């Protein structure tokens, strides 16, 4: 049974709404509050499926109630319908900017009330089903890819650690090789965990509508030295420094330093990982009309159009053919971050002919 909370200080209107909902064909459980503060307390206690609230009320007005609800993790996603005689454009816009889902002007008919309530509840159910389907898909991808990705570096760490127990029978070169492998596997595991936690943090913030908290609009002066340092660090892991070709310019970007570094790292890592050693990796940057463009091209195996469409978290292609490190988080993270900062990601690729990934972000100046 769906729970609906009605917050209205005028007794006759409040009773009319409650009676209409309780006598409707749908089995609604209705709660009533006579002012904003009581309504907020009831919402936090009962966690209704829908809230209908007047705007002008004593104690707390409807706008204050909505602000408080949207700031609370438990109530921030509850559909909210404003009910008010002030149905002019300015009031509607103010309510919508605060996160209201609909606006029902007084006076209203019974049919109008029931239609708005039914529409909002149906839309919420649809969104919840879609979210559940997406969650189930991610769970399936995690179940199929994450165990392998954790086991691979862990096996290396355990294996080489066991072999080092016999260090007295090993020469210095072999010991050094084993230590290098241990470090490499540890770094791979660390990167996997960090990317997984970052992606989870982004997804949770998005679902809770807290994007501004996790994606602050800071300014970062991106210099060519910083770009070259990131490129060189990642390329060195694959011994691909000599394969890098670059033409770079700097800019002031509207993004945090952490995220621009993550974008650069994932783009270079992806190019190194999926192209043969000895083939060129070309990175260019430019700034035109307050848009900063980062482009990176490789001569790797490439992707089909269908694979490009499927680029997402935990999606991998042809693992049975190619040894592929990672769980598909890299480009998925890049896409999430860039989109959060009103940017765009474009992938152009041909099987057997390489891939070009282009990222565009807002910038202020060179």
pLDDT in tens, 116-139: 899 888 888 888 787 777 667 666
Burial of 185 (0-12, 13-18, 19+ CB in 10 A): buried
Same domain, 102 and 234: no
Beta-bridge partner residues of 160: none
User: How many structural domains is the chain composed of?
Assistant: 2
Domain harbouring 287, CATH code: 3.30.565.10
Residue 24 has pLDDT above 70, yes or no: yes
Same domain, 246 and 365: yes
Does a structural domain hold residue 113? no
Confirm if 7 and 54 have CB atoms less than 8 A apart. yes
291-298 and 354-365 beta bridge pairing: antiparallel
Does a structural domain hold residue 196? no
Does a structural domain hold residue 256? yes
Pick from 152, 207, 181: which is nearest to 327 by CA?
152
Whole-model pTM over 0.85: no
Does a structural domain hold residue 335? yes
Does a structural domain hold residue 95? yes
Q: Which range among 212-226, 279-293, 304-318 shows the weakest confidence by mean pLDDT? A: 304-318
Over the chain, what is the mean pLDDT?
83
Q: What are phi and psi of 297, to 5 degrees?
A: -125, 145
Q: Cα–Cα distance between 275 and 286 in angstroms, integer?
A: 24
Stretch 317-334: mean pLDDT, rounded?
54
Q: Which range among 47-56, 85-94, 125-134, 165-174 shows the weakest confidence by mean pLDDT? A: 85-94
Same domain, 96 and 221: no
Same domain, 226 and 343: yes
| Domain-terminating residue out of 80, 108, 136 | 108
Q: Cα–Cα distance between 211 and 192 in angstroms, integer?
A: 23
Q: Cα–Cα distance between 192 and 125 in angstroms, integer?
A: 34
Q: Which residues contact 47 (CB under 8 A, 6 or more apart)?
A: 3, 74, 75, 78
Same domain, 239 and 96: no
- CA dihedral sign of residues 179, 185, 189, 195: positive
Q: Cα–Cα distance between 363 and 253 in angstroms, integer?
A: 4
Domain harbouring 98, CATH code: 3.40.50.2300
Does a structural domain hold residue 292? yes
Same domain, 227 and 95: no
Q: Cα–Cα distance between 321 and 227 in angstroms, integer?
A: 33
| Domain-terminating residue out of 70, 93, 108 | 108
At 294, is the secondary structure helix, strand, or coil?
A: strand
Its domain, for residue 285, covers 215-366
Does a structural domain hold residue 247? yes
Same domain, 223 and 93: no
Residue 279 has pLDDT above 50, yes or no: yes
At 97, is the secondary structure helix, strand, or coil?
A: helix
Does a structural domain hold residue 351? yes
| Domain-terminating residue out of 64, 84, 108 | 108
């Amino acid at each position: 049974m769906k729970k609906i909370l009605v917050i209205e200080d005028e007794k006759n209107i409040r009773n009319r709404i409650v009676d209409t909902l309780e006598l409707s064909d749908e089995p609604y459980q209705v709660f009533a509050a006579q002012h904003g503060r009581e309504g907020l307390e009831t919402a936090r206690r009962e966690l209704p499926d829908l809230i209908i609230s007047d705007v002008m009320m004593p104690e707390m007005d409807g706008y204050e109630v909505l602000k408080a609800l949207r700031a609370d993790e438990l109530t921030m996603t509850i559909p909210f319908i404003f009910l008010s005689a002030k149905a002019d454009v300015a009031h509607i816009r103010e309510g919508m900017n605060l996160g209201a889902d609909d606006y029902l002007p007084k006076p209203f008919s019974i049919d109008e009330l029931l239609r708005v309530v039914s529409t909002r509840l149906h839309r919420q159910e649809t969104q919840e089903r879609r979210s559940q389907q997406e969650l189930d898909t991610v769970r399936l991808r995690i179940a199929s890819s994450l165990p392998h990705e954790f086991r691979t570096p862990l096996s290396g760490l355990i294996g080489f650690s066991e072999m080092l127990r016999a260090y007295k029978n090993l020469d210095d070169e072999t010991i050094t090789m084993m230590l290098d492998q241990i470090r490499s596997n540890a770094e791979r595991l660390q990167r996997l965990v960090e990317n997984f936690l970052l992606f989870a943090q982004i997804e949770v913030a998005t679902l809770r509508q807290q994007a501004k908290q996790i994606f602050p609009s800071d300014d970062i002066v991106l210099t060519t030295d910083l770009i070259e340092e990131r490129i060189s660090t990642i390329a060195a892991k694959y011994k691909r420094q000599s394969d890098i070709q670059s033409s770079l310019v700097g800019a002031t970007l509207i993004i945090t330093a952490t995220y621009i570094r993550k974008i650069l790292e994932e783009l270079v890592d992806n190019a190194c990982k999926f192209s043969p050693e000895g083939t060129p990796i070309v990175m260019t940057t430019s700034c035109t009309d307050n848009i900063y463009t980062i482009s990176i091209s490789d001569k790797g195996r490439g992707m089909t159009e269908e694979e490009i469409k499927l680029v997402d978290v935990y999606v991998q292609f042809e693992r049975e053919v190619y040894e592929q490190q990672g769980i598909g988080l890299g480009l998925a993270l890049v896409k999430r971050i860039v989109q959060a900062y009103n940017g765009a990601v474009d992938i152009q690729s041909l099987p057997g002919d390489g891939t070009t990934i282009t990222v565009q972000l807002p910038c202020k100046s060179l």
